[in-house]
Structures are given as C-alpha cells and as structure tokens.
Amino acid sequence: MKIKFAIKLAVSVLLVVLILWKFPVEDIIANLRNAKLGWVLLSFLLGELIILNQAFRWYYLLIVPKEQKPKFAMLLKYTVVGYLFNLFAPGGVGADAYRSVALGKAHNVMASSVASVFVARIFGLVALCLLFWLALPYSEQVPEQAVWFVAAATLFLFVFCLCILFNPFKTGKFGVFAEKLRSYRNYPLSLLAAFFGSLLMQILSVLMYFAVFEAVGASISWTLLFTAIPVAILITAIPISFNGIGVREWTLLSLTAYAIDSEQLLASMLLGYAVVILQAVQGAIFLHYPHDRIRV
C-alpha cells in the first residue's frame, strides 16, 4: 500500500515539476491575479449543485427496506463530508469509500450502501462517455488517441455493467454484495432516474470547468469542453497519480493546446483546486455536525 502511494505521489510530483519547468510561473500567477472571483464563486455553487444531485441519486440507488431507509438529509451530510476525503484519493474514490462505509455502519446496510455508491460511480463514468460521443460529431481537432481511449472505456463499461447485473456469484464474502448488484434488475425506474442524475452531474462538472476558464479569460468552445473534459475526468479516474494531479493538467494541455493559452489553462486548474479545497473545508465542518440535529 505504501509503495503504491509512493508511486502515485512520484508521478504527480514529476508531472508538476515538468509543468513548472516548461511554462513560465510568473505568467500563471499573473493570470491568477487578474482572475474574476465571480466566476470562481459560480464554480463553487455549481459544485454545491453536484453534491445535492449526488445525494438524490444515492437516495434512488439505495435499495433497503423502508424502515432502514436513512433520511435524505443524512445522505446529503455523508455526501458533503465525503469531499473532505477526496483530497486523498483520485477521482472521488475517497468520497465514495467514506460515504458508503459510514452510512453502511450507521444504519446496518453495508452491502446495500456499498452497492449503491458503486453503481452510482459506474453510472458517472458511463455518462462521461455519452457526453463525449454526443459532442464528438461537432468537435474539431480531437486527437485520435482520445477517441480510441473513450471507445475502449465505453466498451469496458458496457461489458462491466452487464457483468454487474448478471453476475453469478452466490456465496463467499462477495456473495451478499453480488446479490445486491443483481437486485437492481428489479428496479429499472430507479436505475433510469439515477442515470439521468449522473448525466446531469457530469454536465454540471463541465460547467464548473467552464466557469474557472472564464475566470481567467480563457475562451473555449462548448464542443471542445464536452469532449476534452470527459476525457480528462476519465483518465484521472485511473489511479496512477495522487488525486489526478499532474495527469489532469497534461491531459487538458494536450487536448486544448490549439484553443487555450497554456498559462491561462494552468491558472484555471489552480482555481479549480481552490474550489476543491473549499468543498473539503465544508466537509470538515459537516463532519462534526451532530447527527441528532438532522431532521428532514
């Protein structure tokens, strides 16, 4: 475990060092100084809508007896607190691990909680692929490697979803969890609502990037946004770096070099990290919010 963490950290540090070596730091700082805080605030507010959306999606995917169903406010709290743990794992894995286990232990619905968060995670990745394919016919200069990468990701996720719904595991430690995954075949409307929620969440994620781009005056077409951002998020979901740092920047630099000034892009990425830190601070505050104060 320590070796894996060291490798991820080394990858991120190396990529960040290359960025600092290749691009003038003073130009990046100059873009930050001239950033429009209103756009940064909009990015944070869009992030709040994403959190609310995640809680609603979780509510639909959490299949448990009515008497064990947590209040929506409780799901929202665990979702908010999860963002504190996003600082320590790539692509939201930290948040998923925290909220699934914390809710499962608190309400004795561990298998259902983990299954619901797991399915939500897969739906989010599928929604990213769908956004990419919808935008691709209207986009220009999308690298062939990016198209092949998303094609491979789409095929993998399609097969993986079939394996989830029709998995054959009956016994062992994985048996109960596998049964919960198979049970989603009996709740098509819940799956449909959750998928549309995932699609909305990823659209909001793209809009968050748009807001931080606008904050530094970087103009980017909508078609480029809806092709480049899904590719970047999909790549950073692969646990090869520390929280995607470095990988995210180089991916977007490669995909948008012809359309955005590199220093502006890097400045916007730093503003995006500022929003992530604000969400983590918010999560830390709610972590200590008393459970008995949650009423709705």
Give CA–CA dist 107/99, Å, rounded.
12
CA torsion angle 98 100 103 109 (round to 10): -150
Closest CA to 183 of 205, 162, 163, 166: 166
At 56 the pLDDT is 94
Mean pLDDT of 218-223: 89
Q: 130-183, pLDDT tens digit by residue? A: 999 999 999 878 899 999 999 999 999 999 999 988 888 876 667 888 888 999
Spatial CB neighbours of 92, under 8 Å, sequence gap ≥ 6: 86, 121, 237
pLDDT at 292 over 60: no
Calculate the alpha carbon distances from 135 to 98, 146, 147 in Å.
Answer: 33, 13, 12
pLDDT at 113 over 70: yes
At 91 the pLDDT is 54
Does pTM surpass 0.85? yes
Q: 242-288, pLDDT tens digit by residue? A: 778 888 999 999 998 888 899 999 999 999 999 999 998 999 888 87
SS3 132: helix
Banded pLDDT at 296 (limits 50, 70, 90)? very low
Q: For residue 23, how many C-alpha atoms fall within 13 Å in the half-sphere facing its CB?
A: 23
Report for 8-12, 64-68, 259-263: range of highest mean pLDDT:
259-263
Domain ranges (residues) in the chain:
36-169+183-288
At 172 the pLDDT is 67
Give CA–CA dist 37/176, Å, rounded.
48
Mean pLDDT of 32-58: 95
At 238 the pLDDT is 86
Give CA–CA dist 243/245, Å, rounded.
5
| Helix ranges (DSSP H) in 216-261 | 222-236, 247-256
